[in-house]
Protein backbone atom coordinates (compact mmCIF):
# COMPACT_ATOMS: atom_id res chain seq x y z
CA UNK A 1 0.00 0.00 0.00
CA UNK A 2 2.93 2.29 0.73
CA UNK A 3 6.64 2.27 0.08
CA UNK A 4 7.96 -0.95 1.51
CA UNK A 5 10.52 0.77 3.70
CA UNK A 6 7.76 2.13 5.92
CA UNK A 7 7.18 0.29 9.15
CA UNK A 8 3.92 -1.48 9.87
CA UNK A 9 3.05 1.23 12.35
CA UNK A 10 3.55 3.91 9.73
CA UNK A 11 1.39 2.01 7.27
CA UNK A 12 -1.39 1.79 9.80
CA UNK A 13 -1.12 5.51 10.50
CA UNK A 14 -1.32 6.57 6.87
CA UNK A 15 -4.21 4.21 6.26
CA UNK A 16 -6.03 5.83 9.17
CA UNK A 17 -5.50 9.28 7.70
CA UNK A 18 -6.86 8.03 4.39
CA UNK A 19 -9.92 6.62 6.07
CA UNK A 20 -10.59 9.95 7.74
CA UNK A 21 -10.46 11.60 4.32
CA UNK A 22 -13.15 9.19 3.21
CA UNK A 23 -15.56 10.51 5.76
CA UNK A 24 -14.29 14.03 5.45
CA UNK A 25 -14.76 14.15 1.74
CA UNK A 26 -18.36 13.01 1.87
CA UNK A 27 -21.10 15.66 1.92
CA UNK A 28 -24.00 14.92 4.20
CA UNK A 29 -27.07 13.11 3.03
CA UNK A 30 -29.91 11.10 4.47
CA UNK A 31 -29.04 7.40 4.30
CA UNK A 32 -30.17 5.78 1.04
CA UNK A 33 -33.34 3.73 1.14
CA UNK A 34 -31.69 0.75 -0.53
CA UNK A 35 -28.28 -0.78 -0.99
CA UNK A 36 -25.47 -0.66 1.51
CA UNK A 37 -25.04 1.83 4.33
CA UNK A 38 -21.84 3.59 3.27
CA UNK A 39 -21.78 5.83 6.37
CA UNK A 40 -22.05 8.76 3.98
CA UNK A 41 -24.10 11.67 5.17
CA UNK A 42 -25.86 13.62 2.49
CA UNK A 43 -28.84 15.84 2.28
CA UNK A 44 -30.49 15.07 -1.03
CA UNK A 45 -32.98 17.93 -1.19
CA UNK A 46 -32.28 20.52 -3.84
CA UNK A 47 -34.25 23.30 -2.16
CA UNK A 48 -33.54 25.69 -5.04
CA UNK A 49 -32.28 24.12 -8.23
CA UNK A 50 -29.75 26.65 -9.52
CA UNK A 51 -30.19 25.88 -13.20
CA UNK A 52 -33.56 25.58 -15.00
CA UNK A 53 -32.21 23.33 -17.73
CA UNK A 54 -31.96 19.57 -17.51
CA UNK A 55 -28.62 18.53 -16.06
CA UNK A 56 -26.38 16.01 -17.79
CA UNK A 57 -23.52 15.09 -15.49
CA UNK A 58 -21.57 13.44 -18.31
CA UNK A 59 -21.91 16.29 -20.84
CA UNK A 60 -22.30 19.31 -18.57
CA UNK A 61 -21.41 22.86 -19.78
CA UNK A 62 -19.21 23.15 -16.68
CA UNK A 63 -16.63 20.97 -18.39
CA UNK A 64 -16.15 23.45 -21.24
CA UNK A 65 -15.24 26.30 -18.89
CA UNK A 66 -11.58 27.27 -18.64
CA UNK A 67 -9.91 26.63 -15.32
CA UNK A 68 -10.22 29.78 -13.20
CA UNK A 69 -7.26 32.12 -13.06
CA UNK A 70 -5.30 32.22 -9.79
CA UNK A 71 -6.39 34.72 -7.17
CA UNK A 72 -4.42 36.31 -4.36
CA UNK A 73 -5.09 34.45 -1.14
CA UNK A 74 -3.36 35.54 2.05
CA UNK A 75 -4.33 32.86 4.53
CA UNK A 76 -3.79 33.78 8.16
CA UNK A 77 -1.24 31.79 10.13
CA UNK A 78 -2.94 28.70 11.50
CA UNK A 79 -2.44 27.99 15.20
CA UNK A 80 -4.08 24.59 15.33
CA UNK A 81 -4.69 24.65 19.07
CA UNK A 82 -6.81 27.79 18.84
CA UNK A 83 -10.49 27.60 17.88
CA UNK A 84 -10.44 31.24 16.80
CA UNK A 85 -7.40 30.69 14.61
CA UNK A 86 -9.00 27.69 12.94
CA UNK A 87 -12.21 29.62 12.30
CA UNK A 88 -10.29 32.54 10.79
CA UNK A 89 -8.26 30.20 8.57
CA UNK A 90 -11.32 28.26 7.39
CA UNK A 91 -13.33 31.37 6.63
CA UNK A 92 -10.51 33.06 4.73
CA UNK A 93 -9.99 29.87 2.72
CA UNK A 94 -13.70 29.95 1.94
CA UNK A 95 -13.50 33.57 0.83
CA UNK A 96 -10.59 32.74 -1.47
CA UNK A 97 -12.49 29.77 -2.93
CA UNK A 98 -15.52 31.99 -3.51
CA UNK A 99 -13.33 34.40 -5.48
CA UNK A 100 -11.66 31.58 -7.41
CA UNK A 101 -14.87 29.87 -8.51
CA UNK A 102 -16.90 33.07 -9.15
CA UNK A 103 -15.82 33.41 -12.83
CA UNK A 104 -16.85 29.79 -13.44
CA UNK A 105 -20.30 30.45 -11.99
CA UNK A 106 -20.57 33.64 -14.05
CA UNK A 107 -19.63 31.76 -17.22
CA UNK A 108 -22.47 29.32 -16.54
CA UNK A 109 -24.96 32.08 -15.75
CA UNK A 110 -25.31 30.93 -12.14
CA UNK A 111 -25.55 33.06 -9.02
CA UNK A 112 -25.68 30.58 -6.15
CA UNK A 113 -25.72 31.57 -2.51
CA UNK A 114 -22.22 31.37 -1.09
CA UNK A 115 -21.65 28.66 1.49
CA UNK A 116 -21.19 29.53 5.13
CA UNK A 117 -18.25 28.04 7.00
CA UNK A 118 -18.07 27.13 10.65
CA UNK A 119 -16.04 25.04 13.06
CA UNK A 120 -17.24 22.73 15.80
CA UNK A 121 -15.78 20.84 18.74
CA UNK A 122 -18.53 18.22 18.46
CA UNK A 123 -17.73 14.99 16.64
CA UNK A 124 -20.46 13.23 14.68
CA UNK A 125 -22.28 10.45 16.49
CA UNK A 126 -21.31 8.05 13.71
CA UNK A 127 -17.56 8.61 14.14
CA UNK A 128 -15.43 5.74 15.39
CA UNK A 129 -11.82 5.38 16.48
CA UNK A 130 -10.93 4.12 12.99
CA UNK A 131 -12.97 6.46 10.82
CA UNK A 132 -13.92 9.99 11.76
CA UNK A 133 -15.00 13.18 10.11
CA UNK A 134 -12.69 16.12 9.50
CA UNK A 135 -15.23 18.32 7.71
CA UNK A 136 -18.51 18.01 5.84
CA UNK A 137 -20.82 19.92 3.52
CA UNK A 138 -24.58 20.18 3.99
CA UNK A 139 -26.32 21.29 0.82
CA UNK A 140 -29.66 22.05 2.48
CA UNK A 141 -27.98 24.51 4.85
CA UNK A 142 -25.27 25.74 2.48
CA UNK A 143 -22.79 25.01 5.24
CA UNK A 144 -19.25 23.63 5.45
CA UNK A 145 -18.28 22.49 8.95
CA UNK A 146 -14.76 21.70 10.15
CA UNK A 147 -14.60 19.22 13.05
CA UNK A 148 -11.78 20.52 15.23
CA UNK A 149 -11.01 17.47 17.41
CA UNK A 150 -10.55 15.37 14.29
CA UNK A 151 -8.37 17.78 12.35
CA UNK A 152 -6.19 18.29 15.41
CA UNK A 153 -5.76 14.55 15.84
CA UNK A 154 -4.73 14.09 12.21
CA UNK A 155 -2.68 17.28 12.29
CA UNK A 156 -0.39 15.75 14.92
CA UNK A 157 1.05 13.59 12.13
CA UNK A 158 1.54 16.46 9.65
CA UNK A 159 4.61 18.73 9.75
CA UNK A 160 3.76 22.29 10.71
CA UNK A 161 4.99 23.68 7.38
CA UNK A 162 2.69 21.31 5.47
CA UNK A 163 -0.53 21.92 7.38
CA UNK A 164 -1.71 25.01 5.50
CA UNK A 165 -1.64 23.18 2.16
CA UNK A 166 -3.31 20.07 3.58
CA UNK A 167 -6.15 21.95 5.22
CA UNK A 168 -6.61 24.23 2.21
CA UNK A 169 -7.11 21.06 0.14
CA UNK A 170 -9.66 19.86 2.69
CA UNK A 171 -11.57 23.12 2.34
CA UNK A 172 -11.24 22.91 -1.45
CA UNK A 173 -12.75 19.43 -1.47
CA UNK A 174 -15.73 20.44 0.64
CA UNK A 175 -16.19 23.58 -1.47
CA UNK A 176 -16.19 21.32 -4.52
CA UNK A 177 -19.33 19.65 -3.22
CA UNK A 178 -20.89 23.13 -3.15
CA UNK A 179 -19.84 23.59 -6.80
CA UNK A 180 -21.43 20.23 -7.61
CA UNK A 181 -24.59 21.31 -5.83
CA UNK A 182 -24.75 24.73 -7.51
CA UNK A 183 -24.39 23.18 -10.97
CA UNK A 184 -26.99 20.46 -10.32
CA UNK A 185 -24.43 17.67 -10.48
CA UNK A 186 -24.72 16.68 -6.82
CA UNK A 187 -28.48 16.25 -7.00
CA UNK A 188 -28.26 13.98 -10.05
CA UNK A 189 -25.53 11.97 -8.35
CA UNK A 190 -27.78 11.47 -5.32
CA UNK A 191 -30.63 10.34 -7.59
CA UNK A 192 -28.39 7.85 -9.38
CA UNK A 193 -27.26 6.38 -6.08
CA UNK A 194 -30.81 6.01 -4.81
CA UNK A 195 -31.86 4.27 -8.03
CA UNK A 196 -28.80 2.03 -8.18
CA UNK A 197 -29.69 -1.59 -8.80
CA UNK A 198 -26.71 -2.95 -6.91
CA UNK A 199 -24.14 -2.04 -4.30
CA UNK A 200 -21.49 -1.97 -7.02
CA UNK A 201 -23.42 0.62 -9.05
CA UNK A 202 -24.04 2.73 -5.97
CA UNK A 203 -20.37 2.69 -5.04
CA UNK A 204 -19.37 3.54 -8.62
CA UNK A 205 -21.49 6.70 -8.56
CA UNK A 206 -20.24 7.69 -5.12
CA UNK A 207 -16.61 7.24 -6.17
CA UNK A 208 -17.11 9.36 -9.28
CA UNK A 209 -18.68 12.11 -7.15
CA UNK A 210 -15.92 12.04 -4.55
CA UNK A 211 -13.09 11.81 -7.06
CA UNK A 212 -14.54 14.79 -8.91
CA UNK A 213 -14.47 16.72 -5.64
CA UNK A 214 -10.85 15.63 -5.17
CA UNK A 215 -10.09 16.92 -8.65
CA UNK A 216 -11.73 20.24 -7.82
CA UNK A 217 -9.63 20.40 -4.67
CA UNK A 218 -6.70 20.37 -7.11
CA UNK A 219 -8.30 23.34 -8.89
CA UNK A 220 -8.30 25.13 -5.54
CA UNK A 221 -4.68 24.32 -4.82
CA UNK A 222 -3.61 25.55 -8.25
CA UNK A 223 -5.59 28.76 -7.95
CA UNK A 224 -4.67 29.69 -4.38
CA UNK A 225 -1.05 28.57 -3.90
CA UNK A 226 2.33 29.24 -5.48
CA UNK A 227 2.31 27.43 -8.86
CA UNK A 228 5.99 26.68 -8.41
CA UNK A 229 5.48 25.36 -4.91
CA UNK A 230 5.01 21.88 -3.51
CA UNK A 231 1.31 22.01 -2.56
CA UNK A 232 0.29 19.15 -4.85
CA UNK A 233 3.01 16.82 -3.60
CA UNK A 234 2.33 17.71 0.03
CA UNK A 235 -1.38 16.96 -0.17
CA UNK A 236 -0.87 13.72 -2.05
CA UNK A 237 1.71 12.63 0.49
CA UNK A 238 -0.54 13.11 3.48
CA UNK A 239 -4.01 12.36 2.09
CA UNK A 240 -3.50 10.23 -1.00
CA UNK A 241 -0.34 8.33 -0.18
CA UNK A 242 -1.95 5.04 0.75
CA UNK A 243 -5.21 3.28 1.47
CA UNK A 244 -7.53 2.08 -1.32
CA UNK A 245 -11.12 2.89 -0.45
CA UNK A 246 -14.32 1.49 -1.95
CA UNK A 247 -16.13 4.81 -1.56
CA UNK A 248 -13.36 7.22 -2.61
CA UNK A 249 -11.20 5.18 -4.94
CA UNK A 250 -7.67 3.86 -4.86
CA UNK A 251 -4.82 5.98 -3.56
CA UNK A 252 -3.42 6.13 -7.09
CA UNK A 253 -6.70 7.39 -8.54
CA UNK A 254 -7.19 9.98 -5.82
CA UNK A 255 -3.72 11.32 -6.57
CA UNK A 256 -4.44 11.18 -10.31
CA UNK A 257 -7.59 13.28 -10.04
CA UNK A 258 -6.06 15.81 -7.65
CA UNK A 259 -3.26 16.34 -10.19
CA UNK A 260 -5.78 16.52 -13.06
CA UNK A 261 -7.50 19.43 -11.35
CA UNK A 262 -4.14 21.07 -10.75
CA UNK A 263 -2.92 20.78 -14.34
CA UNK A 264 -5.89 20.64 -16.76
CA UNK A 265 -6.77 23.64 -18.95
CA UNK A 266 -10.54 23.28 -18.48
CA UNK A 267 -12.83 21.99 -15.79
CA UNK A 268 -13.38 19.07 -18.14
CA UNK A 269 -10.26 17.65 -16.52
CA UNK A 270 -12.56 16.84 -13.59
CA UNK A 271 -15.20 14.95 -15.60
CA UNK A 272 -15.07 11.74 -13.60
CA UNK A 273 -18.52 10.73 -14.82
CA UNK A 274 -17.15 10.11 -18.31
CA UNK A 275 -13.96 8.44 -17.08
CA UNK A 276 -13.18 4.77 -17.69
CA UNK A 277 -13.87 2.34 -14.88
CA UNK A 278 -10.16 1.83 -14.18
CA UNK A 279 -9.77 5.54 -13.37
CA UNK A 280 -12.54 5.56 -10.77
CA UNK A 281 -11.89 2.28 -8.95
- pLDDT band of 243, cuts 50, 70, 90: confident
Residue 116 included in any domain? yes
Give yes or no for a contact between 177 and 208, defined as CB atoms under 8 angstroms apart.
no
**148 in a structural domain:** yes
- In whole angstroms, what is the distance from residue 217 CA to residue 88 CA? 20
The arithmetic mean of pLDDT across residues 249-253, rounded, is 94
The dihedral through the CA atoms of 217, 17, 151, 39 has a sign that is: positive
Query: Average pLDDT for residues 221-249, to the nearest whole number?
Result: 90
Assess if residue 54 is contained within a domain: no
CB 89 within 8 A of CB 96: no
195-214 average pLDDT score: 96
Residue 137's domain comprises 8-40+60-279
* 224 belongs to a structural domain: yes
Q: Give the integer Cα–Cα distance in Å for 56 and 239.
A: 30
The residues pairing with 136 across neighbouring beta strands, listed in sequence order, are 145
- Whether residue 4 is predicted with pLDDT greater than 70 in this model: the reply is no
Identify the pLDDT of residue 244.
83
Q: What is the mean pLDDT of residues 13-25?
A: 37
> What is the predicted pLDDT for the residue at 36?
42
- With respect to residue 51, please indicate whether it lies within any of the assigned structural domains: no
Residues contacting 249, CB < 8 A, separation 6+ = 207, 210, 211, 257, 280, 281
CB atoms within 10 A of CB 7: 9
Beta strands in 66-174 (DSSP E): 116-120, 135-138, 143-147
- Percent residues over pLDDT 90 in the chain: 72
Can you tell me the mean pLDDT for 16-35?
A: 41
CA–CA distance, 25 with 173 (Å, rounded to integer) = 7
Higher pLDDT, residue 242 or 112: 112
Span 49-105, pLDDT tens digits? 444 457 899 999 999 999 999 999 999 999 999 999 999 999 999 999 999 999 999
Instruction: Report d(CA 146, CA 122) in Å as an integer.
Output: 10
Question: 155-174 pLDDT, tens per residue?
Answer: 999 999 999 999 999 999 99
Quote the number of domains for the chain.
1
Nearest one of 114, 165, 111 to 144, comparing CA atoms: 114
Q: Is 9 exposed, middle or buried (0-12, 13-18, 19+ CB in 10 A)?
A: exposed
Gap between the Cα atoms of 12 and 227, Å rounded: 32
Residue 123 region, left (φ>0) first, then alpha (ψ -120 to 50), else beta?
A: beta
Q: Is the pLDDT of residue 45 over 50?
A: no
- Residue 34 in this model has a pLDDT that exceeds 60: no
Find the radius of gyration of the CA atoms of the chain.
Answer: 17
Q: Are β-strands 116-120 and 143-147 bridged in parallel, bridged antiparallel, or unpaired?
A: parallel
Higher pLDDT, 102 or 24: 102
- Domain assignment present for 90: yes
Whether the full predicted model's pTM is greater than 0.85, yes or no, is no
Query: Which of the 8 DSSP states describes residue 148?
Result: H
Q: What is the pLDDT of residue 132?
A: 84
In angstroms, the CA 82 to CA 61 distance is 42
pLDDT value at 31 more than 80 = no
The torsion angles phi and psi of 84, rounded to 5 degrees, stand at -65, -40
Q: For position 239, what pLDDT does the model report?
A: 86
Judge whether 45 lies within some domain.
Answer: no
Amino acid sequence: MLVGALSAASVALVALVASTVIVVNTPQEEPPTGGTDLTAFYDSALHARPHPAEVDIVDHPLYDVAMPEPVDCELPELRTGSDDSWEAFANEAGTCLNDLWAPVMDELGLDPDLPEITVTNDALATDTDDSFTLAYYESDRGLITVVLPSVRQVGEQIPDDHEAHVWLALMGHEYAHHVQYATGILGISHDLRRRAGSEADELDTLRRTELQAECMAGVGLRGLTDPDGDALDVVNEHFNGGGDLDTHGSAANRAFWLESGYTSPTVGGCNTYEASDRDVT
